[in-house]
Amino acid sequence: MISLSTALRARRGMMREWRLHALSIFSLAVAFVCLGASLLVVTNLRALEDRWAHAGRASVYLKDNASAEDIESVKQALLKVSGVKQVRYVSGQQARLDFGANQQERASSLAALPAEAFPSTLEVDVVPEMTDTELSDMAAKLQKVPSVEDVETYRAWTERLSRLISGGVAASALLALVVLGAVLAVVGSTIRLALQRRRTEVEVLKLVGATDGFVKGPYILEGSVQGAMGAVGATGLLAALFTIVRGRLDGEFVTLLGLQPQFLPWYAVVGLVCSGALLGAFAAMGSLRKLVLV
Amino acid sequence: MSRFDGPSSFRPALRAGARFSREAKDRPILTFESVYKSYRSGSPVLRGVHLTIERGEFVFVTGSSGAGKSTLLRLLYRSETVDDGRILFLGKDIARLKDDAIPFLRRNIGVVFQDFKLVPAWSVYENVAVALEVLGLPARLIRTRVGEALERVGLAGRGNDLAGVLSGGEQQRVATARAIVGEPALILADEPTGNLDPQLAIDILGLFEEVHEAGTTVVFATHDRTLLEVRPRRVVVLDEGKALDVPQGITIESDDHYRLPN
């Protein structure tokens, strides 16, 4: 339990050596920015994976020689499958037009592409609850239909994205270890330096009968505040950078990925700050283990 | 009756759960029983010191440089431990105290040093109040008692001054205020006048005498012979590791010799 006296003494110590503490907080903020950035990437990749995994759609690519009757029979058969919401026929010409609407500056290049580049498709919307297995089964059956060239369930993309996320999580874990080391080193050094500078203070406290807890309390609190402020600073910096980047590239993100990038959820921010505070406190405790007894 | 009115008002600071023994009131405040201490093998600083100090006494501890005056005091506030023998504080063996009990011993002992041991960046008030903050007293009570202590040492109204900018004499007064503010049973003064000019030294001695008159036991280590002459009191002379007790005080014959009373 932090007493008022501990908090006041910690505040007094930090105010008197604000330069030392500011430098420490800045160093911690840099470390936390790296961790926060990797978390931000992982968070958005997860959102993308989630969106794609529950996109609830499949594209049935039709052969060039598929007749209108064949297409209609496939469409009707699909509509009878449990979980299929809607089936929409998109001709090759329509597909070219749709794509061209999003890539206006490349309209001339698109015009040069052959007709086979935009095959006719049946765009199938399914309910989000439809499992991967059910979708795969449906795709397998469709591929046996003579007028169907191929079926894209976008599962391969989801799997690739999952692998990318796993890599991102591993990288984040590695960065978390680096941050852990950085916090321990920076806070530990700062506290040891502060202790050295306040040696007389510690000596006086011990002489007048202060317990170890009373002497160490403010230093542990200072370490904790440094860690938390480093994390808060990093989150603020990351939020500012995120706002700038999103302001400039928001449209491109939506076009490419189909979703707006999101900042870290509140619980991740709270977790980051709490981790900073805890790590700072532990680092301070570690550096005070050999507190000189008077 | 003020809280400084004498030995009968004494109650030591105790650890939570510890009980105050009434028998402690009747015991000598300090008893040294065959105390040995050495920093290097073969050259002990203290060689079997026997000494008893009763409550409410004022005792000078003197001797040449390196005689063991500071060592004797450091053993008392457990900055050092004895190699052999016992030091009893109110009947309790200081050497056998566990580490977590040492702060509670120190709350019963006020210590004043030659180099003041003040935090220069703290105000006078903060330097004195720290002795009460460790006890967890309420802020209002701390303010009152620090004000009283500063008044007793002649520094009333100087609470906001930074300790680092005070004169030597003033700093020693602040250190004395810090030592007495917690109403300890025992005050240890380790060469408190060593850095002061002769007149200031006598003033500071007077301050300790006032504290003593209020009932506190004072052990005053000094090698300043003039102080011993100014105030003829009980003197303990440390010589070759032994303590020579001179209850009536001593006079100085020459630069090198003490004259003990017949």
Cβ–Cβ gap A209/B122 under 8 Å: no
pLDDT for B261: 52
Domain identity same for A140 and A39: no
Q: How many contacts, defined by CB atoms under 8 Å, are there between A and B?
A: 53
Q: What are the chain A neighbours of B99 within 8 Å (beta carbons)?
A: 293
Q: What are the chain B neighbours of A294 within 8 Å (beta carbons)?
A: 79
Quick one: which H or E segment has residue B95?
A: none
Does the pLDDT of residue A68 top 50, yes or no? yes
| Cβ neighbours of residue A191 closer than 8 Å, sequence gap 6 or more | A219, A222, A223, A283, A284, A287, A288
Q: Pick the residue with more confidence: B186 or A250?
A: B186
B contact test, residue of A208, A216, A290 with most B CBs within 10 A: A208
Q: Pick the residue with more confidence: B24 or A281?
A: A281
A77 occurs within a structural domain: yes
Of A200, A201, A209, the CB nearest to B134: A209
Interface check for B239 against chain A (CB to CB < 8 A): the answer is no
Domain identity same for A215 and A86: no
Interface check for B79 against chain A (CB to CB < 8 A): the answer is yes
Cβ–Cβ gap A205/B130 under 8 Å: yes
Domain identity same for A181 and A269: yes
A294 occurs within a structural domain: no
Domain identity same for A229 and A263: yes
Q: Among all chains, which residue has been given the structure tokens 């012979």?
A: B225
Of B77, B117, B135, the CB nearest to A203: B117
A129 occurs within a structural domain: yes
Query: How close A31 comes to chain B (CA, Å)?
Result: 33
Interface check for B178 against chain A (CB to CB < 8 A): the answer is yes
B 199-218 → A contacts, CB under 8 A? none
Per-residue pLDDT tens digits of chain B, which is 262 residues long: 334 333 444 455 555 555 556 665 667 899 999 999 999 887 889 999 999 999 999 999 998 888 889 999 999 999 999 999 999 998 889 988 988 899 999 999 999 998 899 999 899 999 999 999 999 899 899 999 999 999 988 899 899 999 999 998 899 999 999 999 998 989 999 999 887 788 888 888 888 898 899 889 999 999 888 888 877 789 999 988 898 888 777 665 555 555 555 4
Q: What are residue B53's DSSP bridge partners?
A: B30
Domain identity same for A167 and A124: no
Q: What 8-state DSSP symbol labels residue A256?
A: H
Q: What are the chain B neighbours of A211 within 8 Å (beta carbons)?
A: 100, 103, 134
A292 occurs within a structural domain: no
pLDDT for B260: 53
Domain boundary among A124, A153, A182: A153
Query: How close B55 comes to chain A (CA, Å)?
Result: 21
Q: What are the chain A neighbours of B182 within 8 Å (beta carbons)?
A: 208-209
A293 occurs within a structural domain: no
A180 occurs within a structural domain: yes
pLDDT for B236: 92
Q: What are the chain A neighbours of B111 within 8 Å (beta carbons)?
A: 207
Closest CA to B125 of B157, B95, B152: B157
Cβ–Cβ gap B103/A201 under 8 Å: no
Interface check for A294 against chain B (CB to CB < 8 A): the answer is yes
Domain identity same for A45 and A144: no
Domain identity same for A41 and A169: yes
- pLDDT > 70: percent of chain A: 89
Domain identity same for A178 and A254: yes
A256 occurs within a structural domain: yes
pLDDT for B259: 56
A124 occurs within a structural domain: yes
Q: What are the chain B neighbours of A203 within 8 Å (beta carbons)?
A: 117
Closest CA to B231 of B257, B201, B255: B201
Interface check for A210 against chain B (CB to CB < 8 A): the answer is yes
Q: What are the chain B neighbours of A3 within 8 Å (beta carbons)?
A: 136
Q: pLDDT digits over A261-273, tens only? A: 889 999 999 999 9
B contact test, residue of A195, A198, A207, A215 with most B CBs within 10 A: A207
Interface check for B36 against chain A (CB to CB < 8 A): the answer is no
Looking only at the bridges linking them, the beta strands covering B58-62 and B234-239 are parallel
Mean pLDDT for chain A overall: 83
Domain identity same for A48 and A166: yes
Helix A155-197 crosses helix A132-143 at what angle (to 10 degrees)? 150
Domain identity same for A70 and A122: yes
Query: How close B107 comes to chain A (CA, Å)?
Result: 5
Distance from the Cα of residue B137 to its chain's centroid: 23
Cβ–Cβ gap B117/A209 under 8 Å: no
Query: How close B2 comes to chain A (CA, Å)?
Result: 23
Interface check for A209 against chain B (CB to CB < 8 A): the answer is yes
Cβ–Cβ gap B107/A214 under 8 Å: no
Interface check for B104 against chain A (CB to CB < 8 A): the answer is yes
Q: pLDDT digits over A155-197, tens only? A: 777 777 778 878 888 888 888 888 888 888 888 888 888 888 8
Interface check for A15 against chain B (CB to CB < 8 A): the answer is no
Q: What are the chain A neighbours of B133 within 8 Å (beta carbons)?
A: 5
| Over residues A42-51, mean pLDDT | 79
Query: How close A184 comes to chain B (CA, Å)?
Result: 28
| Cβ neighbours of residue A45 closer than 8 Å, sequence gap 6 or more | A161, A164, A165, A168
pLDDT for B66: 83
Q: Pick the residue with more confidence: A150 or B255?
A: A150
Q: Among all chains, which residue has been given the structure tokens 């380790």?
A: B190
Domains, chain B, in order of start with CATH, read 29-108+185-262 (3.40.50.300), 118-183 (no CATH)
Of B79, B122, B130, the CB nearest to A208: B130
Range of the domain at A65: 56-153
| Cβ neighbours of residue A290 closer than 8 Å, sequence gap 6 or more | none
* Spatial distance between the Cα atoms of B169 and B204, rounded to a whole number of angstroms: 8
Q: What are the chain B neighbours of A205 within 8 Å (beta carbons)?
A: 130, 134
Domain boundary among A99, A120, A153: A153
Domain identity same for A187 and A282: yes
* Spatial distance between the Cα atoms of B130 and A204, rounded to a whole number of angstroms: 8
Q: pLDDT digits over A211-232, tens only? A: 988 999 999 999 999 999 999 9
Q: What are the chain A neighbours of B136 within 8 Å (beta carbons)?
A: 3, 5
pLDDT for A110: 66
Cβ–Cβ gap B106/A207 under 8 Å: yes
Give how many domains chain A has, as a whole number.
2
Domain identity same for A148 and A163: no
Query: In chain A, what are the helix, strand and coil shares in percent, each to the nearest 5?
Result: 75, 10, 20
Cβ contact B232:B60 at 8 Å: no
Q: For residue A206, what is the nearest residue in chain B, using CA coordinates?
A: B103
Interface check for B69 against chain A (CB to CB < 8 A): the answer is no
Domain boundary among A110, A125, A153: A153
For B239, the token pair is 């010589």
Report the CATH number at residue A144.
Answer: 3.30.70.3040
φ/ψ bin of A123: left (φ > 0), alpha (ψ from -120 to 50), beta (otherwise): beta
Most confident segment among A102-106, A123-127, A221-225, B206-210 = A221-225
Alpha-carbon distances of A166 from A46, A163, A183, A192, rounded to whole Å: 10, 5, 25, 38
Q: pLDDT digits over A13-36, tens only? A: 888 888 888 988 998 898 888 888
